[in-house]
Amino acid sequence: MTLKKQVLMFKRSADKVFESNDFTSATILYFKTLFAIQDFILLQKIGYAPKDHTERFRLLKKEFPDSYTIIDSEFNTYRSTYSRILSKETCNRIKKVVENEIEKYKI
């Protein structure tokens, strides 16, 4: 499966979970979508997709500083999905980030 197909599959799944009002799980899936988007753009630009978050952050900071700034500012939200129930507002914020990145990179 290509990363582009993976992005779209994760986004569809996130949207379905969002519609069921499970905002924590939807947020997790939106982040998974965001990470796949970042891997896609890195693969397109440098021919390599990172193997973990640390490597992803390092490469984004160098190659896509705008995307790095977005993920850096929201990474605490991602980490909070492991221990908190997230609100619809938080989920909507991450959903909008994902939708903006999909549009920006024409995925």
For 39, counting Cβ atoms within 10 Å of its Cβ (0-12 exposed, 13-18 middle, 19+ buried), the class is buried
Assign 33 a pLDDT band (cuts: 50, 70, 90).
very high
Give the domain extent around 19: 3-104
**CATH number of residue 30's parent domain:** 1.20.120
The total of structural domains in the chain comes to 1
56, HSE (Cβ side, Cα atoms, 13 Å): 20
pLDDT at 3: 83
What pTM was computed for the model? 0.93
39-87: pLDDT as tens digits: 999 999 999 989 999 999 999 999 999 999 999 999 999 999 999 999 9
pLDDT greater than 90 at residue 2: no
pLDDT at 1: 62
- Tell me the CA distances in angstroms from 25 to 13, 54, 88, 107, one per residue in order: 10, 23, 11, 23
The answer to whether 42 touches 101, Cβ cutoff 8 Å, is no
